[in-house]
Structure 1
Amino acid sequence: MLRVVVLIAGLLPAALPLPVGAQQAADTAYAKSEANIPMRDGVKLRVVILAPHAARPLPILLQRTPYNANGAIGFARRAKELGLDGYIIVFGDIRGRFRSEGRFDMNRPPRAGTPGIDESTDAYDTIDWLVKNVPNNNGKVGTFGVSYPGWLTAVTGIGPHPALKAISPQAPMGDTWMGDDFFHQGAFRLSYGTEYTWSMESSSDESEEPSPSRYDLYEWYRSFPTLDALARTVRADRWPSWHRFSEHPAYDSVWQARALPRYMGHATVPTLVVGGWWDQEDEYGPLAHYAALERSDTARLAHLVMGPWYHGQWSGDSGTALGNVRFGRATGVEYRELQSRWFGYWLKGEGDGRFPAAWLFDAGTDSWRTFDTWPPANAVRRRLYLRADGALSFDPPTAADASDQFTSDPAHPVPYRPRPVELTYSRTSRWRRWETEDQRFVDGRPDVLTWQTPPLTEDVTVAGDVVAHLYASTTGSDADWVAKLIDVYPDTVPGRPEMQGYELMVTGDIMRGRYRKSWERPEGIPANAIQPFTVDLHQQAYTFLKGHRIMVQVQSTWFPLYDRNPQSFVPNIFRARAEDYKARVHRVYRTTQYPSNVEIEALPR
């Protein structure tokens, strides 16, 4: 969530800075002002207003942010390049951040503050003041933002102000326990949860940044025998979110109250939801938010865009590549053209207003696909079964007794990306591209199991849900399960030798085994007993091309992005002792009775 204000302001390192003359021209094209807007409870929130010198009334584009409202200045400088010129630009600091009054509450639940006060009411009061007090506005407001501002954008649709005509939640943190920033299906996002919270809650203005003592954070996090030892070292007791992590490790009412899809299931204004297939922070949010809106969207107000992007890449980068993977076109530019038309239609009355329900990029074919519904109504379910000798097949297993095993040792966890693992938001960090790294860096480790198909004889197009169904046992009483669906490139790739045999993770995720029966009520795993585990790998629109292979990998650690499971059941892993962490043998079954598989929704052949 942290650096998205930089992205949306168009100040990405990947984007060249504007020449001084162009900056001056952009600056002189706007009149800058600030205001402290009173909310209904008397708290005043600061906004920065950039108004173009224009003869005709203009609509307002509003972004509410925890990352400093001064981001409006950088955004205005790039507004024309982004296709968003001709708007009054307003950025506002939310409660308790930078120069706004009040108390900051991370991902504040609806109606959780002073009676009747939350982010949606603050948005309403802000919009009400703007349309009444900003000169030369046309009475129409649009809201937008990526990540935390994306979530703030989404909740403006709760009891929206009449002037609010269009919103675009981009990479909104939809559910920070189930699949976004802080937990994934019960597993704590150790490095991200620690570093982001450290930056956000040590001060109100990000004046204190994370300062680990090692460059390779794999070694730094591994040096702490327990989560409690880490917390004492970084003084995590200062951070309200850390208390939430450690006191509410299960999916209880605290997390459910913060889950956007649970409290917002209806589109009230035209909504353009945007996300990235390789968003390393909030891929779950846009898909879950759109799904919740789409179920009751008889007016067809909700629209979805998913592209081949890291977190926020679409807002300032060309989008021609992500890491080693090239897309053959400027996907970011193409998206921004759509965004320009979207706001132009709803706020200025320009264009015909025809937008697909779902506009999704297929990185296997390097092409955009449009769908009337998502997932598509004609998608069929197919299963990729784990078979003997590392084989993967659409044919189910025939053996009565067959399995593969590995030893998972918390003292030697599998790194989630090639080392060194840099500080998440450092200048040298490879955080943005880690999900597209070549998975050969772990393929062959004894604690990573691998199965793959022969070269495909025809294309296989995933279009919808991807779910891993594992039947497994452990010699311990708890275990994490990581499942990855991978595209293995051919051994010969003309003109791209670095992609020969490349193992691209199309999608992957983790679940904590103690939650196999209930997200709310964890329970230990009986030793050496076969249990079903379901790992939600979310959704994709991706074609495995003829001549490629499909691979599945299974492992039990993904460190230090996720904390280590002690593999001995304890009521709360945040309170686990060093002696609770033990190496255990895990076994994955592939029999007629226990046919471990990855289920995909695919387009008909």
Structure 2
Amino acid sequence: MSDITMKFDLPVPMRDGTVLMADVAWPAGDGPFPVLVERTPYDKNYRSTANFDTIDGLRAGFIIVRQDTRGSGKSEGEWMPMKYEREDGYDTIAWAATLPKSNGKVGTFGGSYTGSTQWSSAIAHAPELRAMAPLVTWSDPADGLMFRGGAVELGLNSWWGLMNALPHFLHTYPPEIAFPKMGQALGHFAALKERFWELPAAAQPFFVDLGMPDVGVARALEDRSTMDESRVDGHYEKLSVPSLNIAGWYDVFVQGSVDNYVGMRAQGAATRLIVGPWSHSSLNAGATLGEVGEVNFGLGMLSPGGEQISKINFDWYDHWLRDTPATSAHESGVLIFVMGANAWRAETDWPLARAVTTPLYLDEESALRWDAPESTDAASTYEYDPADPVMTRGGNLVMGSDYPAGPYDQRIAEERDDVLVFTTAPLELDVEITGRISATLFAATDGPSTDWVVRLCEVDSEGVSRNIVDGITRVHTEAGRIDEVTIDLWSTSILIKAGHRLRAHVTSSNFPRWDRNLNTGEPANVGTTIRVAQQRILHDAAHPSRIDLQIIPA
């Protein structure tokens, strides 16, 4: 270790003259070595070991670069999330390739925002970028980052915006203004459960007063094209950089990670997908001992295929950055953790070709059945009051410690009058659900707009009902009109054991994960008036409301 060389705060000039700062560590020896780069807004001094350990990387013979993104840490420039990452990524990759002892080949690493910066460099077509390994990151910012089904990702937006405002105040304001604002932000953090209720939801007064950008919601509502700055979807056909995608079934970006794999595979690019039962932070060192939410999936969940995530990454880079012979680690394919069975399984591709789309129908007497309804006139009704929404408990989310992600007991929500509950009979045989799940509702409301939320749960032999997947669709409609509404519940892999039951919830809120639809049709960045809505779900022969599962034949 004494032969390792480290240099701090090396200047990296961007094309517009802005200077970003990077820390660089060189392994022992003369090289040449490949270079691995992480570009982060979270301070380059923070060394997460979620999927990559710097010391292991140096021992494996990689030059390691960690850079503060524009307007972050010690880097110059404006802090505006996502806006500059493509151009800055291109320029940084070019700089990294010319470092002393470099072999000219660059790979990237990191998760969430720093996973997105990897895709940004690839989309910018940085020629020296030869491989990447994005962890828990998105594909379409309108599907999990800023919005979901038209609703605002309120929990993520408010929490992330506050978290990132704190270290960026001094980049934006002089100290005499920055420090009081930091104090205000800390107070808002402490009271965030109350702050979530402020309206308008996409321009909450407490956050607007801080004068800092959110994750991108406010800009997107003013100009939808700003979402293109962080969108991967739609760029696959122009990309060829090999990608190792790592995701979690209970992560807020799981579908984006899956979509990135599918998009690259469709273009014939080398790409792999690993999905564990993880939340957004499950892989952080010390964050879990096999538990996600209320379920212990076993320590094996931390070692995909029996290997550590860090080793999987280094094996991935070796071929693409050193020209070592390709192995099975470099073949396109999928490694998934099947919850319930609590085991890893390799698949040749996603979605699984053998999966069978199988509908579960909402029926009378709160039943969820495998056979289509026969009734000619069946419906269920409820009243949705935005002042009394269904509160978030678990799921695919990242929004602070008050609202942990994962599977949780949903029986409190099921007792509410505004949550319709439909349940199967106990299963006679084990049933594996692996794939992307969707719901179709034939629904009507009495106003110009509302939300439809569907959740799929597993009910165990003790009667505990835990969430598997859920989704939301915001509709703009005419009062009383019956709409056929599709709700994307995203992907999962779970074995439901014989004797257990499946359960569906239908409701109109999941707050504060998603902002409340006020039922008035006002945009989320101006709406403050609440209206109670009368909701109606049809589930008869002519209106077969259902959840479409992907069942793996036994």
User: What TM-score bracket applies, with the shorter chain setting the length?
Assistant: 0.7 to 0.9
Q: Residue 44 and residue 466 in structure 1: after superposition, are their counterparts in 2 closer, same or farther (change >3 A)?
A: same
Q: CA deviation at 1:410?
A: 1.1
Work out whether 1:164 is the aligned partner of 2:164: no
Q: CA deviation at 1:220?
A: 4.0
Q: Residue 162 and residue 562 in structure 1: after superposition, are their counterparts in 2 closer, same or farther (change >3 A)?
A: closer
Q: CA deviation at 1:53?
A: 2.5
Question: Counterpart of 1:314 in structure 2: which amino acid?
Answer: L
Work out whether 1:87 is the aligned partner of 2:62: yes
Query: Would the aligned equivalents of 1:143 and 1:166 in 2 still touch at CA under 8 Å?
Result: yes
Work out whether 1:277 is the aligned partner of 2:226: no
**Alpha-carbon distance between aligned partners in 1 of 2:249 and 2:539, rounded to the nearest angstrom:** 29
The answer for unaligned runs of 5 or more in structure 2 is 171-178
Query: Would the aligned equivalents of 1:186 and 1:250 in 2 still touch at CA under 8 Å?
Result: no
Q: CA deviation at 1:252?
A: 3.6
Q: CA deviation at 1:384?
A: 0.7
Counterparts of 1:8-407 in structure 2 under 5 Å? 29-71=4-46, 78-80=53-55, 85-108=60-83, 118-132=84-98, 134-177=99-142, 179-201=143-165, 204=168, 208=182, 210-212=185-187, 217-222=192-197, 224=198, 226-227=200-201, 231-236=204-209, 238-241=211-214, 245-246=217-218, 248-249=220-221, 252-256=224-228, 258-279=230-251, 281-297=252-268, 300-314=269-283, 316=285, 320-334=290-304, 335-336=308-309, 337-348=311-322, 352-355=326-329, 357-407=333-383
The two structures have a TM-score, normalised by structure 1, of 0.81
Match in the other structure for 2:517: 565
The structure 2 residue matched to 1:513, chosen from 475, 484, 503, is 475
Q: CA deviation at 1:536?
A: 0.6
Q: Residue 541 and residue 411 in structure 1: after superposition, are their counterparts in 2 closer, same or farther (change >3 A)?
A: same
**Alpha-carbon distance between aligned partners in 2 of 1:142 and 1:484, rounded to the nearest angstrom:** 39
**Alpha-carbon distance between aligned partners in 2 of 1:414 and 1:354, rounded to the nearest angstrom:** 46
**Alpha-carbon distance between aligned partners in 1 of 2:469 and 2:380, rounded to the nearest angstrom:** 22
Work out whether 1:486 is the aligned partner of 2:457: yes
Question: Counterpart of 1:167 in structure 2: which amino acid?
Answer: M
Q: Residue 102 and residue 233 in structure 1: after superposition, are their counterparts in 2 closer, same or farther (change >3 A)?
A: closer
Question: Counterpart of 1:235 in structure 2: which amino acid?
Answer: V
Q: CA deviation at 1:363?
A: 0.9
Q: CA deviation at 1:30?
A: 4.5
The two structures have a TM-score, normalised by structure 2, of 0.88
Match in the other structure for 1:599: 548
Query: Would the aligned equivalents of 2:14 and 2:20 in 1 still touch at CA under 8 Å?
Result: yes
Match in the other structure for 1:541: 493
Q: CA deviation at 1:247?
A: 6.5
Q: How many residues align?
A: 533
Q: Residue 30 and residue 446 in structure 1: after superposition, are their counterparts in 2 closer, same or farther (change >3 A)?
A: farther
**Alpha-carbon distance between aligned partners in 1 of 2:333 and 2:453, rounded to the nearest angstrom:** 32
SS at match of 1:313: coil
Describe the superposition over 1:424-483 as per-residue Cα deviations: whole angstroms up to 9, x where unpaired. Answer: 44xxx244x333221123121111111111111122222222001011111222111111
Match in the other structure for 2:405: 434
SS at match of 2:429: coil
Match in the other structure for 1:575: 526
Question: Counterpart of 2:439 in structure 1: which amino acid?
Answer: A
Alignment RMSD: 2.9
Q: Residue 95 and residue 478 in structure 1: after superposition, are their counterparts in 2 closer, same or farther (change >3 A)?
A: same
**Alpha-carbon distance between aligned partners in 2 of 1:576 and 1:75, rounded to the nearest angstrom:** 39
SS at match of 1:558: coil
Describe the superposition over 1:132-172 as per-residue Cα deviations: whole angstroms up to 9, x where unpaired. Answer: 2x333333321011000000012222354443221011122
Describe the superposition over 1:105-145 as per-residue Cα deviations: whole angstroms up to 9, x where unpaired. Answer: 3222xxxxxxxxx533322322222232x333333321011
**Alpha-carbon distance between aligned partners in 2 of 1:74 and 1:322, rounded to the nearest angstrom:** 18
Q: CA deviation at 1:189?
A: 2.0
Match in the other structure for 2:175: none
Q: CA deviation at 1:83?
A: 9.8
Which has the larger displacement, 467-476 or 283-292? Answer: 283-292
SS at match of 1:130: helix
**Alpha-carbon distance between aligned partners in 2 of 1:343 and 1:462, rounded to the nearest angstrom:** 33
Query: Would the aligned equivalents of 1:160 and 1:268 in 2 still touch at CA under 8 Å?
Result: no
**Alpha-carbon distance between aligned partners in 2 of 1:78 and 1:91, rounded to the nearest angstrom:** 12
